[in-house]
Amino acid sequence: MMKRKTFDIIYVFVIMVAMSTVIMTSTTMQAQTADTLRHEVLLETDMGNIRIALYNETPLHRDNFIKLVKQGFYDGLLFHRVMQRFMVQTGDSASRHAQPGQILGMTVKGEKIPAEIRYPRLFHKRGAVAAAREGDNTNPERASSATQFYIVYGRRFNDTMLDDEQLKLNRITNGQVKLTPEVREAYKSTGGTPHLDGQYTVFGEVVEGLDVVDKIQWVETDKNGRPLNDIRIIKATIVK
């Protein structure tokens, strides 16, 4: 009888291990499948819709952004900082109920996200979506804000202008960031903001609605870059 009981126990144990392996394998396969999907988010704004694709190469930023969108965090927030031929910025939770003229952009919410800088593969071309952050003096690891991000518009460059931008990058990064031929060509044909490359995490790009970004960057602002007439994200939705 003891031998039979021992055999039964071993048999049950083997079955349980096999089932656990199948479940874990299935879960892993599902996770891997999810990770290969290029998620997209739709920002419905006062000035039109902007559709953003999120990069799988920056999973920490991707997952954080998806989480915030699902929570409705961006619904009702303002584009609180706008700079012509440069970028438009949003994500400050204080902007949801901000008074006219209130200075925005200083709110710190949530833990910082470790930098996922993937230059030169991901760079500040026109339409790039990147995480805002504190400066190098207080944030030498270049960790990102958990909520604030900006969309690049920038300008187109010629070779002489790009040579000047490279000199700026040499000073800022001690020569560590070089504009590759491919990156230079993109800045000549499409445009962007090369002086930020290699220093901020680019985690997505605009796939529809770049004309809306263009309209936003030209609005009239106060001395702090806040639009005089509020421009709001009405709703952010995961569409893919």
Residue of 205 and 13 predicted with greater confidence: 205
* pLDDT for 239: 96
* pLDDT for 27: 45
Reported as a single tens digit per residue, the pLDDT across 136-184 is: 999 999 999 999 999 999 999 999 999 999 999 999 999 999 999 999 9
Tokens read off for 201? 């995490």
**227 pLDDT exceeds 50?**
yes
Least Cα distance to 238 among 35, 36, 38, 40 occurs for: 40
Tokens read off for 175? 């020569």
Residue 42 belongs to what H/E stretch?
A: strand 40-45
Reported as a single tens digit per residue, the pLDDT across 60-97 is: 999 999 999 999 999 999 999 999 999 999 999 999 99
Residue given tokens 């590759």 in the structure block: 180
The C-alpha atoms of residue 228 and residue 31 are separated, in whole angstroms, by 45
